Structure 1
């Protein structure tokens, strides 16, 4: 992902997405509260099957909200891990050590291929949201997620 890349939202306003680990030129560093920082937590599907873990948060700088989770899954001992973006809208429940999503393992495996260079491209984000059956946060018909994670 290229930090600071601006995109035009449906209302014409610019929005920027970036990884939680990065800073912007103004010096703002996203620091979720400890109880809201999902990085490192296990991800389970709607049946409770462990899928992987949250490795990063993709943040809407203007609204200061988490929009996507970057999830790592598969592989063995860190070798062959795959990554996938997951809209925060898919989060059904959060515990101290786990994020449960309202989707299946197949939904995650069949998601658009991870590409850090495309996350701030509207077309790619549209594909991710569409795959999971959600309206993108910038579009009409978007219902705010149950876990908004305001930073």
Structure 2
């Protein structure tokens, strides 16, 4: 029997990876590259979206607070309330850069940009 990877309310992390991300205008912005899960609560803290580049050259990664995303069943992807121009100015890191996970100032800057409450406040 094959493992179920999606229900009407749940989705496996493996199936989230590669899911398209759109803005509210319906423009495809990128796709989910990975997710960051809070060890203590087990909740998803961030979706890491890949954006830009060609054949992975020049590709950037955007940590999106999970609370900033909404799933749209019509598009079969996640929607974030940003224009492409706003996304280009958002916190990002490159393939050869290490994000400062665990640094409260770094993570606060992400939440400030997306105007979301930090995930650890809800824990």
Q: TM-score, normalised by structure 1?
A: 0.64
Once residues 138 and 81 of structure 1 are traced to their aligned partners in structure 2, the CA distance between those partners, rounded to angstroms, is 29
In structure 2, how many angstroms separate the alpha carbons of the residues matched to 1:86 and 1:61?
18
RMSD: 2.1
In the TM superposition, residue 120 of structure 1 has moved relative to its aligned partner by 1.9
Matching of residue 104 in structure 1 with residue 86 in structure 2: no
User: Which ranges of structure 1 fall in alignment gaps of 5 or more residues?
Assistant: 1-32, 145-151
Shift of 1:58: 0.5
- Take 1:94 and 1:62, find their aligned partners in 2: how far apart are those partners? 28
| Residues in 1 aligned to 2:111 and 2:5: alpha-carbon distance in whole angstroms | 27
Q: TM-score, normalised by structure 2?
A: 0.77
- Larger helix proportion of the pair: 2
1:137 matched residue in structure 2: 119
Residue of structure 2 in register with 1:26 after alignment: none
Unaligned 5+ segments in structure 2 are none
User: In structure 1, what is the equivalent of residue 62 of structure 2?
Assistant: 84
Size of the aligned set, in residue pairs, is: 109
Segment of structure 1 superposing worse, 91-100 or 77-86: 91-100
Segment drifting more, 64-73 vs 95-104: 95-104
Rounded Cα–Cα distance in structure 1 between residues aligned with 2:51 and 2:81:
17
